[in-house]
Amino acid sequence: MEARGNRGDGRQLELSKKIFELSTIAEIGKEFISSLDPERVNSKIVFTLMGVVGAKRGVLYCLKADTRRLEMLKAVNFPAGERPQALDLNAAQFGALQRLRNPSFLSEYGGEYAFIGTLVSADLVPDPLVIPLVAENSVLGLILLAEKLNTPYTEDDISILTSLAGYSSLALHRKTMVEMLVKSEKMAELGRLGAGIVHEIKNPLTSITMLSEMLKADKSLDVRQRKYVGIIGQEAQRILRLCQNLLSVSRPKKPEMAEVDLNRIVEETVALLSYELKKHRVMLKLDLQRGGAAAVGDEEKIKQVILNLVINAVHAMDGGGPLEISTGIGVPGKANRKAPEGSRYLTLGEPGRSRMTILTIKDGGSGIDPAILDRIFEPFFTTKAEGMGTGLGLYVTRNIILDHHGTMTVLTRPGSGTTFRIALTRPPSARRRKS
């Protein structure tokens, strides 16, 4: 009788467990469809997976594909001094993560996954259960769970966690999509507002620029007066450039592609900036491909890219410094693999294996803080002092490069400067010449 009673208790427990798991699945599905609050979604993911199996600790990471960074979103039950941190991945680690599909213990993975163990303290989470969050065939994040309060994990536990991870992945994916949508809506609205204002400003500015040029040549003015007129003209030019960037955002024009020589475009653009470079004590070094650097592109837009990047470089070198602009032929992806120790990089576009025409702009400035690297191409994001930048230069630059089907890599190390490497398609004539 007693044995039957125990079996009965066991069945009761099993039944309660199933009811609990089913209600959890039903609740999480409903919650994730209705909730847009990212903080709430992050908390819900970790708490739910922890609680349904009785894990002692849990942490949620999101994987940022553009910066290859594992960002910690929510950690539960970690002491203040031992909270899990973010981790920047190298290409091999990122590739390894993308191959994960099912929950498994870290000890069951090969050595290439050892970096996951560095995310959490081994004392607190000795052998984490690693649950990948996969949506649209990409790993969007990871959940790490510590051991359970009572028993080891069972196959049933892994099954329920896999189901919940599926919902969590969709929630994470949806959250990312919503954030992008909100940003693009905000952008479009600001762009529409800006376009009207900019158009009104551009016409009088053009008059100021032209008249100041005429006045500068007027012999009846003394040296000091001509200098002031020169400054008025330069400042008006600066405002015109800002207007140009704003208009590019609100009414982007498709590039008019032609075969261009990057060497000539570089020389013409830096000539325009010679005064600025001298004023800020920037030592310019040009290292241009012998025999020309042919590429397919829109000359005006490439000029705008160089202008934006050089102006940023000047601002990054407070008190002056070296600026090197070079052109050449190469495979964009290969150069990224030679990134020096301690540096971080971010690539826009898909670096293929074919040879492309490369434009490199390298400054000796302060470098970019790794914490903001993945935000620098966002519209209206700026670290410059108020009045110094609109936060549109790099956004416009990014759009131009992507419109050209090119790639751009930014390589930086705080305190050691920043390098922008742009790769554009080579014209068929140049490829033939080579072969």
The site for other proteins (CB under 8 A) is made up of: 12-13, 16-17, 19-20, 23-24, 27, 30, 40, 43-44, 46-58, 76-77, 148-151
Query: What is the smallest separation between the CB atom of 87 and other proteins, expressed in angstroms?
Result: 23
Q: Which is nearer to other proteins, 46 or 348 (CB)?
A: 46
Find the shortest distance in angstroms from Cβ 121 to other proteins.
14
Rounded to the nearest 5 degrees, what angle is found at the Cα of 338, between the Cα atoms of 334 and 342? 140
Q: Which is nearer to other proteins, 6 or 207 (CB)?
A: 6
Nearer to other proteins, 18 or 101 (CB): 18
CB of 150 to other proteins, least distance (A): 3
3 state SS of 101? coil
262-272 vs 299-316: helix crossing angle, rounded to 10: 50
Specify the residue, 145 or 293, whose C-beta has the smaller distance to other proteins.
145
Nearer to other proteins, 73 or 247 (CB): 73
Please state the closest distance from residue 85 (CB atom) to other proteins, in A.
Answer: 19
- The CA–CA distances, whole Å, from 208 to 96, 199, 214, 216, 293 equal 58, 15, 10, 12, 36
104/95 Cα distance (integer angstroms): 17
322 DSSP β-pair partners: 283
Kindly report the number of other CB atoms within 10 A of residue 20's CB atom.
13
CB of 16 to other proteins, least distance (A): 4
Residue 148: CB minimum distance to other proteins, A: 6
Give min distance, CB of 86 to other proteins, in A. 22
Token couple for 148:
């359970």
Of 8 and 95, nearer to other proteins (C-beta) is 8
Backbone torsions φ then ψ of 56, nearest 5 degrees: -75, -35
Q: For other proteins, give the closer residue by CB, 59 or 410.
A: 59
Contact 303, 245 (CB under 8 A): no
Nearer to other proteins, 150 or 435 (CB): 150
Q: How far is the CB of 146 from other proteins (least distance, A)?
A: 10
The span from the first CA to the last CA of the chain, in angstroms, equals: 89
What is the spatial distance between Cα 124 and Cα 82, in angstroms, rounded to a whole number? 9
Q: Quick one: tokens of 318? A: 């407070």
Burial 79-109 (b: 16+ CB within 10 A, else e): eeeeebeebebeeebbebbeebeebbbbeee
